[in-house]
């Protein structure tokens, strides 16, 4: 959020009050860092006795008392040495580490903020003038979690205390209502209610198993992406899910992807890895033979799984999984074809997400971190050129683009599409990535008009990105009410009694003959129960048939969204199902 807004200063100041409260309440507590978040703030602290949920109330009370005291926030500039003495006296080893880092960057002084008599924190600001500027009624401590110091698992483990803070109590209430709605829409609950996926203790967390309905949903979504690709001459390719180490040594993944790679040693002692991405394999398909410039661009696409050795604590539902299904595509083209190819993918992304009612407020230009060139493949020159290309393309496309240094892929900068869902939450979804590095590493060329080898360039793109993540987002966005076109079961025929069962099957056969996905449900339970079940499963239409419908060759239609729609003939139902 905007660092100059009053709310930013209020949230940041609330983080200091939280740290102050922890120091008061937990003897010897040591402070990490406490930044502002999307809806509030957090602070990472280390205490000798564990902090529990019960402590949150107490800490919140202390914060609110300090707010009422209108404590001044006073900035103080001092030399590095003075700061070291100050934080050493206060037994704050993490702050000392931060001072060393500041010194490494060549700074000669630091700023601290004092709050009241006893509290001081190393901080750049900005802050409120005094704590009375914070609206205590719009503040709440929410949750605890574990975190490693500086996000490095080899470092000390700390406790992260989260709080939210808004300008008004009404905004806090609105936020809490959104959270309740989000909990109601939790994709894990909906996945079970709609019978889309399941987990097995024997298979393990992070490894979803897709049921008939869930696998059909994946297929319908993937078919739609292929339909959108049809005007752009994509071809399918297919690759194995493992490779010899040599492929990733050449691509650079073996060195840079270190921890997240699932490694395998064969019975003969050979090193293999499960693929964490598909691009290196796809380069080998491109490289199978020389290509004339006339054959470019080549656009390879494949929906396939990649694997990441995530820590089990990070796994949950579909949003963090060990096996990720990507609708992955790679375009091999010449430099002068880049813009047109980017536009082509961008069109597909726009159409796809509009279909589901997602909006893109902005795109993110994910660039490399100039302070850490060692994290990436390629030279500064190549990066500068590639990043400027993306800036130009975004400008030509006429969108708001936000630059995010440090968010690039290993091999190049990205345009990331951030979708806003129906609850106002944002999710990173599609991506288009420019890559001038893998073509170097794998020596990918075309034969140009002069008969010479010419270095080509690659575009990596995914429309859904991870199917697992997209389906989680889609379920929460729609509260499980999938568009009729993508509902695995579009309608269920409910015979009122056994006498109408045969007619129900006739209705189903009539509708499925033209491609609709229709089931009959006649399991001996009451009509009321079967309607409630279909509603829980969010099946778009219930087609109820009794004596009257049999005699008039019609169905009584009930919509998931709009209730009773009255009697319809088959053609009218067909029109509903094709909507």
Minimum CB distance to its own copies, residue 189 (Å): 15
| Position among 178, 287, 401, 565 found at the interface with its own copies (CB under 8 A) | 287
In terms of DSSP bridges, do strands 518-520 and 491-495 run parallel, antiparallel, or are they unpaired?
parallel
Residue in the block written with tokens 């080998």: 284
Catalytic annotation present for 16: no
Structure tokens at 318: 């579909």
Task: Please report whether residue 322 would count as binding its own copies according to CB under 8 A.
Answer: yes
Question: Closer CB to its own copies, residue 40 or residue 205?
Answer: 205
The reply to whether 333 belongs to the active site is no
* 3-state class (DSSP) for residue 389: helix
289 binds its own copies (CB under 8 A): yes
Return the range that interacts with its own copies (CB under 8 A); candidates 33-41, 58-66, 74-82, 204-212. 204-212
Q: Which candidate in 229, 299, 414, 517 is catalytic?
A: 414
Whether residue 39 lies in the annotated active site: no
Residue with tokens 């005007």: 231
Q: 378 has which bridge partners?
A: none
Cα separations in angstroms, 14 against 20, 44, 140? 10, 14, 10
**Among 55, 328, 416, 421, the one annotated catalytic:** 328
Near its own copies by CB under 8 A: residue from 62, 78, 285, 384? 285
Tell whether residue 398 is a contact of its own copies (CB under 8 A): no
- Residues 6 or more apart in contact with residue 153 via CB below 8 angstroms: 311
Q: Footprint of its own copies on residues 521-550 (CB under 8 A)?
A: 523
Rounded to the nearest 10 degrees, how much is the dihedral formed by the CA atoms of 146, 149, 152, 157? Answer: -40
Q: Should residue 436 be labelled a site residue for its own copies when binding is judged by CB under 8 A?
A: no
Looking at 79, 219, 379, 497, which residue binds its own copies (CB under 8 A)? 219
Torsion angle, alpha carbons of 379, 380, 386, 389, to 10: -150
Instruction: Assess 78 for contact with its own copies (CB under 8 A).
Output: no
Contact status, residue 31 vs residue 121, Cβ threshold 8 Å = yes
Helix (H, G, I), strand (E, B) or coil at 161: strand
Torsion of CA 513, 514, 515, 516, to 10 degrees: -90
In angstroms, give the least distance from the CB of 157 to its own copies: 15
Structure tokens at 205: 């967390």
Q: Is 268 in the site for its own copies (CB under 8 A)?
A: yes
Least distance CB 260 / its own copies (angstroms): 8
Distance between terminal CA atoms of the chain?
40
Tell the smallest beta-carbon distance from residue 174 to its own copies (Å). Answer: 37
- Closest approach, Cβ 275 to its own copies, in A, equals 10
The footprint of its own copies on residues 488-517 (CB under 8 A) is: none
Active site residue 427: no
Which one among 82, 97, 171, 309 touches its own copies, defined by CB under 8 A? 309
Strand order in the sheet with 491-495: 518-520, 491-495, 541-545, 555-559, 563-568
Q: Is 328 one of the catalytic residues?
A: yes
Is the peptide bond preceding residue 192 cis, with omega within 30 degrees of 0? no
Q: Which of residues 139-168 bind its own copies (CB under 8 A)?
A: none
The contacts of residue 224 (CB under 8 Å, 6+ apart) are 352, 355, 486
- The correct pick among 242, 418, 531, 572 for binding its own copies (CB under 8 A) is 242
CA distances from 380 to 114, 392, 434, 457, 460 (A): 41, 18, 15, 17, 20
| SS3 at position 342 | helix
Residues contacting residue 494 through CB under 8 Å, at least 6 positions apart: 504, 521, 522, 527, 530, 531, 534, 542, 543, 544, 545
Compare residues 131 and 326 and give the one whose CB is closer to its own copies.
326
| Nearer CB in complex with its own copies: 107/207 | 207
* Catalytic hit among 281, 308, 521, 560: 308
Q: Which of 218, 320, 330, 477 binds its own copies (CB under 8 A)?
A: 218
Which string of b and e fits 195-217 if b means at least 16 CB within 10 Å? ebbebeeeeebbebebbebbebb
> Whose Cβ is closer to its own copies: residue 268's or residue 561's?
268
Q: Which residue lies nearer to its own copies by CB, 17 or 321?
A: 321
* 453 neighbors 447 (Cβ within 8 angstroms): yes
3-state secondary structure of 209: strand
**Which of 210, 346, 358, 541: binder of its own copies (CB under 8 A)?**
210
* 452 in contact with its own copies (CB under 8 A): no
In terms of CB distance, is 180 or 288 closer to its own copies? 288
Q: Report the nearest approach of its own copies to the CB of residue 570 (Å).
A: 21
Q: What's the full length of the chain, in residues? A: 579
Total binding residues for its own copies by CB under 8 A?
63
Instruction: Give the binding range for its own copies (CB under 8 A) out of 144-152, 192-200, 548-556, 566-574.
Output: 192-200
Sole binder of its own copies in the list 55, 121, 302, 387 (CB under 8 A):
302
Asked if 451 interacts with its own copies (CB under 8 A), we say: no
Residue ranges that bind its own copies, judged by CB under 8 A: 195, 198, 200-204, 207-212, 214-216, 218-219, 235-244, 246-247, 250, 259, 262-264, 266-268, 270, 272, 274, 280-281, 284-285, 287-289, 292, 294, 298, 300, 302, 305, 307, 309, 311-312, 321-323, 325, 523
Catalytic (active-site) positions: 279, 308, 326, 328, 330, 414, 460
């Amino acid at each position: 959020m905007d660092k100059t807004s009053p709310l930013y200063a209020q949230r940041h100041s609330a983080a200091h009050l939280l740290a102050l409260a922890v120091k008061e309440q937990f003897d010897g507590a040591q402070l990490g860092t406490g930044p502002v978040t999307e809806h509030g703030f957090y602070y990472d602290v280390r205490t000798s006795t564990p902090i529990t949920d019960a402590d949150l109330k107490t800490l919140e009370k202390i914060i609110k008392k300090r707010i009422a005291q209108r404590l001044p926030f006073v900035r103080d500039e001092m030399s590095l040495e003075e700061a070291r003495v100050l934080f050493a006296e206060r037994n704050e080893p993490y702050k000392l580490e931060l001072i060393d880092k500041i010194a490494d960057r060549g700074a000669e002084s630091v700023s601290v903020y004092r709050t009241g008599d006893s509290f001081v924190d190393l901080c750049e600001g900005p802050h409120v003038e005094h704590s009375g500027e914070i609206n205590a009624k719009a503040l709440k401590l929410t949750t605890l979690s574990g975190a490693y110091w500086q996000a490095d698992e080899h470092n000390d483990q700390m406790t992260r205390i989260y709080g939210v803070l808004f300008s008004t109590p009404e905004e806090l209430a609105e936020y809490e209502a959104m959270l309740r709605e989000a909990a109601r829409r939790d994709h894990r609950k909906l996945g079970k209610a709609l019978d889309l996926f399941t987990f097995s203790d024997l298979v393990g967390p992070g490894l979803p198993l897709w049921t008939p309905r869930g696998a059909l949903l994946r297929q319908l979504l993937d078919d739609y992406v292929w339909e959108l690709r049809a005007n752009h001459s994509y071809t399918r390719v297919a690759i194995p899910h493992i490779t010899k180490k040599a492929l990733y040594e050449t691509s650079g993944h073996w060195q840079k992807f270190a921890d997240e790679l699932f490694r395998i040693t064969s019975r003969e002692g050979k090193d293999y890895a499960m693929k964490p991405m598909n691009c290196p394999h796809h380069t080998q398909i491109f490289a199978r033979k020389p290509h004339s410039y006339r054959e470019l661009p080549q656009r390879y696409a494949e929906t396939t799984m990649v694997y990441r050795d995530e820590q089990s604590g990070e796994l949950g539902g579909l949003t963090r999984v060990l096996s990720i299904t990507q609708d992955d595509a790679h375009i091999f083209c010449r430099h002068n074809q880049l813009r047109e190819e980017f536009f082509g993918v961008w069109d597909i992304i726009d159409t796809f997400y509009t279909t589901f009612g997602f909006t893109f407020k902005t795109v993110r230009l994910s660039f490399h971190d100039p302070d850490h060139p060692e994290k990436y493949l390629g030279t500064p020159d190549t990066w500068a050129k590639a990043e400027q290309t993306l800036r130009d393309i975004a400008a030509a496309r006429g969108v708001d683009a936000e630059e995010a240094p440090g968010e690039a892929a290993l091999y190049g900068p990205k345009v990331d599409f951030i979708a806003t869902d129906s609850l106002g939450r944002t999710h990173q979804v599609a991506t288009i990535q420019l890559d001038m590095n893998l073509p170097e590493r794998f020596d990918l060329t075309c034969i140009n008009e002069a008969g010479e080898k010419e270095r080509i360039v690659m575009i990596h793109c995914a429309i859904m990105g991870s199917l697992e993540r997209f389906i989680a987002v889609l379920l929460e966005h729609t509260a499980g009410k999938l568009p009729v076109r993508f509902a695995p079961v579009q309608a269920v025929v409910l015979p009122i009694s056994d006498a109408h069962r045969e007619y129900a099957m006739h209705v189903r056969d009539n509708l499925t003959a033209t491609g609709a996905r229709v089931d009959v449900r006649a399991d001996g339970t009451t009509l009321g129960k079967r309607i409630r079940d279909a509603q829980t499963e969010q099946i778009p239409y219930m087609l109820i048939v009794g004596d009257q419908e049999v005699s008039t060759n019609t169905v009584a239609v009930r919509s998931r969204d709009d209730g009773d729609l009255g009697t319809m003939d088959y053609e009218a139902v067909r029109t509903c199902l094709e909507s």
